[in-house]
Chains A and B, each alone.
Chain A
Amino acid sequence: MAEEGDIYDEIEIEDMTFDQTLQIYHYPCPCGDRFEINIDDLRDGHEIAVCPSCSLQIRVIFDISDLPEKEDDHPQPVAVTV
């Protein structure tokens, strides 16, 4: 896994910007593009945001419990005790 490759920096999630439409967190990369990571990947425990234009990556510092609630269009049926 390339996750331990060129980690440019560790960035707190509060310093990143959340794009509601794309459901990604992003942060500027020194190359002019930006590091991106999908919120679902964060929920799955991934912590490396990558830049699509260069080799640099950042480690996102976050707490899964602090992520915004997942907007669920299809709520799971509630278990009903009969």
Chain B
Amino acid sequence: MAEPAPKRRKTTLHALGSNGNYQLGFSHTQDTSTPTKCVFHDKNITLNHVPLAEHEEVKKIITGGNHTLLLTNLGRVWSAGLNDTGQRGLVAPEELGIQNGLSAGERSDTAFSSGDVGFGGWRLLSWTGAQHLQRDTGRDHTAYVTDLAATWTASYLVLDNTSVYSCGSGQKGELGLGKDVVASTTPKRCFDLQDVEPGESTTVKQIAGCMSHAVVLSTSGKLYGWGASRKGQLGQVMRETKVSWTPRRVDLGLTDGEEWPVDQVCAGRDFTFVVGRRSQEQYFLGDASKLGIELPLPLTESTEKREHGVNIHAGWTSITVLSSNGTAQAFGKSPQGFVKNLVRARTLHNIASMAVGSEHCLAISDDGDVLASGWNEHGNCGDENDLDAVDNAQQANTIWHNKANHRTIGVAAGCATSFILTESIAVDETENG
């Protein structure tokens, strides 16, 4: 008797929320409050799951203002949404079989009448960093993309955990490519850890971007940043210059002997928040009082240890802390007069992991369900009229129920956008293609 065929895994990306520029990765620009399968254009085939090789997994999904990037563990980058300034790195439209390029008439209806599917869905980034990195540094590289981040209209690709390439646009130094460089349709090297920590074996531990600034954390615990700096989000020194056109070391303002290595960083709209390995090691770059954030935050470690310790996440105007006991708590007061249901109003329990968008958050519960809480004008937290979906105990919408053969493996959140990544074991042959 023949061996049964090995079960194949299928990874599916579902999205909901604001979609005016195809940022959810559908073939249309309608908002939706129901998790809906994203469309992937793999060469000439259109799929409603993520095209992954045998040992390939989705590593990260990040969002800009109107574009979204997905990174796999093999360094492949998929993108959806607006590319009007090259923020998706899609620099060779002819490779996509598109005559006029993605930037011309992204929003025009002629995109559909031409019968060209090229304007919606997710597409693979054809740019490969190897030759660029070798030319730029003289070093040999595999030039895998190892991490991603984005601002409103710029994207960052980290190559080999060391070099950061930027593309897209930004009026406030977001590209980090030098004074007055406000646009680059091709990814260019803006930062290299080897330049600032030469001879060290340090690598990029984290990269984070929010509306108009970006920060890189090295494994040595040093923080670097560029972009808008007027609000002190990159420290006091760069506050003076208002805009930081090139990456610089971020001075936490700690006196000698009191310095501690940064362990985690998150970036909000006008601030950066960093923590060390001990709970009292916290530093808020920016104006915490404007957000009503009182420091230090209570980053108490629980005796009931989980796999991960404390995790910090930033929304545009809030910080959410996921403690090791599974409690997610948001900090930051409602800006003046703003009465919507903000992420900061909530405390969630029994949470395994989470993602925080501009003004909402998604959380995966210990059971694998996905909860959504926060500002929901675009349906990014599900359908509010669907009362059955509201978890009253959590005061959040349950927008996805975990299934034994179709489990939740990740969430991502952006500007009123929500993404749910699921993995099924058995291939559903009835799915249309």
CB of B397 within 8 Å of the partner chain: no
Q: Are A28 and B152 in contact (CB under 8 A)?
A: yes
User: Is B339 a contact of A30 with CB atoms below 8 Å?
Assistant: no
Chain B residues within an 8 Å CB radius of A54: 377-378, 416
B244 at interface, CB cutoff 8 A = no
**B336 interface neighbour in A10, A14, A15, A32, Cβ under 8 Å:** A10
- B23 contacts across to A, CB distance below 8 A: 32
Closest CB-CB distance, B411 to chain A, in whole Å? 18
Flag whether A23 is at the interface (Cβ < 8 A): no
Give chain B's interface secondary structure class: loop
Contacts of A55 in B (CB 8 A): 377
Chain A residues, Cβ within 8 Å of B378 = 31, 54
What 1/0 flags go to A15-32 for Cβ under 8 Å of B?
Answer: 101000000000011111
Chain B residue with Cβ nearest A34? B65
Contacts of B18 in A (CB 8 A): 31-32, 53
Q: Are B336 and A30 neighbours in the complex by a CB distance under 8 Å? A: no
Known interface pairs A9-B317, A14-B230, A55-B377. Does A32 touch B65 (Cβ–Cβ under 8 Å)?
A: yes
- Shortest CB–CB separation between residue A16 and chain B, in angstroms? 10
Q: How far is the CA of A10 from the CA of B335 in the complex (A)?
A: 8
Given contacts A7-B336, A8-B338, A53-B18, contact A30 B230 (CB under 8 A): no
Supposing A14-B230, A17-B171, A53-B18 touch, asked if A31 and B338 sit within 8 A by C-beta, the answer is: no
Specify the chain A residue showing the minimal Cβ separation from B66: A32
Bound: A31/B357 CA distance, A: 10
**A40 interface residue (CB < 8 Å to B):** no
Complex: how many Å from CA A53 to CA B66? 13
Min CB–CB distance B318 → chain A (angstroms): 11
In whole Å, how far is B319's beta carbon from the nearest beta carbon of chain A?
16
Contact (Cβ within 8 A) B337 A31: no
Verify B416–A31 contact, CB threshold 8 A. yes
Task: Give CA–CA (A9, B415) in the complex, Å.
Answer: 16
Given A6-B339, A7-B337, decide whether A33 and B20 contact each other with a Cβ distance below 8 A: yes
Complex Cα gap A43–B152 (Å)? 28
The closest CB in chain B to the CB of A31 belongs to B416
Contacts of A30 in B (CB 8 A): 316, 357-359, 375, 415-416
A6 touches B415 (CB 8 A): no
Proximity string of chain B (308-341) to chain A, C-beta cutoff 8 Å, 1 when within and 0 when not? 0000000011000000000000000001111110
B residues 120-152 touching A (CB-CB < 8 Å): 152
Does A8 contact B171, Cβ atoms closer than 8 Å?
no
Contacts A6-B339, A10-B336, A55-B377 known; A28 to B211 CB distance under 8 Å? Answer: yes
| Contact between chains at B335 and A8 (CB < 8 Å) | yes
Encoded as 1 (CB less than 8 Å from any A CB) or 0, chain B from 406 to 433 comes to 0000000011110000000000000000
A38 to B392 alpha-carbon distance, docked (Å): 43
Q: Does A73 contact B (CB under 8 A)?
A: no
Docked Cα-Cα span, A56 to B65, in Å, equals 16
User: For chain B residues 359-385, which have a beta carbon within 8 Å of chain A?
Assistant: 359, 375, 377-378
B83 at the interface (CB under 8 A from A): no
* B21 at the A interface (CB under 8 A): yes
A9 neighbours in B (Cβ, 8 Å)? 317, 335-336, 338
Assembly CA distance A8 to B336 (angstroms): 7
Show 20 A/B contacts (Cβ-Cβ < 8 Å), sorted by A.
A6-B340, A7-B337, A8-B335, A9-B317, A9-B335, A10-B335, A28-B65, A30-B316, A30-B375, A30-B415, A31-B416, A32-B21, A32-B23, A32-B414, A32-B416, A33-B20, A53-B20, A54-B416, A55-B377, A56-B377
8 additional A-B pairs beyond A6-B337, A32-B417, beta carbons within 8 Å, are A6-B339, A7-B337, A10-B335, A15-B230, A31-B18, A31-B378, A31-B416, A32-B21
Chain A positions within 8 Å of B, measured between CB atoms, are 4, 6-10, 14-15, 17, 28-33, 53-56
- 5 nearest A-B residue pairs (beta carbon): A30-B358, A7-B337, A32-B415, A9-B335, A31-B416
